[in-house]
Amino acid sequence: MAAPAANAPVWLGLTRVVLQRIASALLTLLLVSIVIFAAASLLPGDAAQEVLGQSATPEQVAALRHEMGLDQPAVTRYLDWLAALLGGDPGRSYIADMQVTELIGARLVNSLSLAGITALVSVALALTIGIVSAINRGSKLDRALNIVTLSLVALPEFLIATVFVLLFSVKLVWLPSIAMVSPEATWSEMLRSMALPVACLTFVVSAQMARLTRAAVADQLDRPYVEMARLKGVTFRRIILFHVLPNAAGPVLNAIALSLSYLMGGALIIETIFSFPGLASLMVNAVTSRDMPLLQACAMIFCAAYLALILIADIVAILANPRLRS
């Protein structure tokens, strides 16, 4: 990125790609909000009934419905919500008597930290495993790593999580079994309490990334240009770093982005087992209490996170691979 003049067309192209993608991302977000709204309207009951309990009088329910605006037609409610959101206000929770932003705030930070730390660990691990086994493909090491990654995906994550807790918390007493991040906790405490959830999620997402990395890198290694470069006397290390990896970046980054998007919404089971106050369990809570504004906000966040990841993956792939830049 040091030669600005030569790269000017790249930035131009990139800007166009980013703008295009942001436009289509907005379209996707709109679609998601419609799907969520429609799916949630299929659910029996509504927030007013949830708040008042089973045998509240019809008058009570009707009054609360009116107050919540639930007596409006569904389309009106949706458009009102959309208008407010475009104005920057995701609304007020029906159930908890708090702003949605207030409910989500701390949990978003939690979910992002969990996903972020897991991403750092698992991407590093997966790339190492994938590249090492691709370079040594066919060797004993490759086969051993293959078996390791295969067994990683072979078990349900709740079983892995439970085994970890039994081993590291109950038996060894090394790490906490619950991952409640208190606001007053120090950094090191936070990292300790998140160690087990991070380890479990790493197990879940790394294997697939590693296997795809191996496949992509091995595919490049078999191409003629690698042999050519070797004959020219380029060091193997240089070939890997400057030729193979940039060319393999596209599929690898795509796989990474897909796996990482799982870390936000897919962490539900891990959140449940470790009592981790994250967004996925909040969204489940929103579903069961019919708390539409909260549900929509969570869905928007998950969708945006996914789209952002895919976009970043594409941009990095373009930057990494000279051939894609033109």
Partner 1 sequence: MNGRLAARLAAMPLSGRIGFALVLFWLVVAVAGPLTAPHPVGKFVDEEVFSPASAQHWLGSDYLGRDVLSRLMWGARYTVLLALGAAALAVATGTSIALFAAIRGGLVDEVISRAMDTLISIPSKIFALVLVAAFGSSLALLMLIAAFTYIPGNYRIARALAVNLVGMDFVQVARARGEGAIHIAWREVLPNMIHPLLADMGLRFVFIVLLLSGLSFLGLGVQPPHADLGSLVRENISGLPQGASAILSPALAIATLTVGANLLIDALKGGGEA
Partner 2 sequence: MPPAGPPPISRRAVVGGLAGVGALALGGCGASSQRRAPAIRGSIRVATQLSSTNDTLDPAKGATATDYTRHFMLYNGLTTIEDESLVATPSLAQTIESADRQNWYFDLRRGVRFHDGSELTSRDVVFSLLRHKDPATGSKIATVAEQFEEVTADGKYGVRLRLTGANADLLTVLAQSHFLIVKAGQDSPDGTGTGAFRLGDFQPGVRTVVLRNPEYWIEGRPRLERVEVIGIPDEVSRVNALLSGDVQIINAISPHSTKRVEAEPSCAIMASPSSLYSDLVMRQDELPTGNPHFVLAIKHLIDRPLINRAIYRNLSTIANDHPIAPFQKYFNAEIPQRVLDLDKARWHVRKGGLEGVRLPIYATTAANGSVDMASILQEYGSKIGLRFAVNRVPADGYWSTHWMRHPMTFGDTNPRPTADLIFSLFYDSKAEWNESGWKNERFDRLLVEARGSADEALRAEIYGEMQQIVHDKCGVAIPVFISLIDGYDKRLKGIRPIPLGGLMGYRFAEHVWWED
Q: Which residues bind partner 2 (CB under 8 A)?
A: 43-45, 49-57, 59-60, 93, 95-98, 103, 106-107, 162, 165-166, 169-174, 176-178, 180, 182-186, 189, 192-193, 272-275, 277, 281-282, 284-289, 291, 294
Nearer to partner 2, 165 or 249 (CB): 165
Token pair, residue 239, equals 């070939």
Minimum CB separation from partner 1 for residue 307, in Å?
7
> What radius of gyration do the chain's Cα atoms show?
24
- How far is C-alpha 300 from the chain's CA centre? 13
193 binds, among partner 1, partner 2, none (CB under 5 to 8 A by kind): partner 2
Work out whether the CA dihedral 309, 311, 313, 319 comes out positive or negative. Answer: negative
Residues 15, 136, 139, 162: which binds partner 1 (CB under 8 A)?
Answer: 162
CB closer to partner 2, 55 vs 326: 55
Q: How far is CA 192 from CA 50, 179, 197, in A?
A: 37, 9, 10
Give the CA dihedral 19, 23, 26, 32, nearest 10 degrees: -120
For tokens 């897991």, name the residue.
118
261 binds, among partner 2, partner 1, none (CB under 5 to 8 A by kind): partner 1
Our finding on whether 299 is near partner 1 (CB under 8 A) is yes
Residues in the chain, total: 326
Q: Which of 8, 230, 288, 322 binds partner 1 (CB under 8 A)?
A: 288
CA-CA-CA-CA torsion for 166, 171, 172, 175, nearest 10 degrees?
40
Using CB under 8 A as the binding rule, whether residue 261 contacts partner 1 is answered as: yes
CA trace torsion 301, 21, 85, 182 (10° rounding): 20
156 binds, among partner 2, partner 1, none (CB under 5 to 8 A by kind): partner 1
Which of the ranges 59-67, 77-85, 147-155, 186-194 carries the binding residues for partner 1, by CB under 8 A?
147-155
CA proximity to 21, closest of 315, 254, 303: 315
Neighbours of 266 (CB within 10 A): 19
The contact set with partner 1 (CB under 8 A) reads 24, 27-28, 31-32, 35-36, 39-40, 42-44, 143, 146, 150-151, 153-159, 162-163, 166, 170, 258, 261, 264-266, 268-269, 272, 280, 283-284, 287-288, 299, 302-303, 305-307, 310
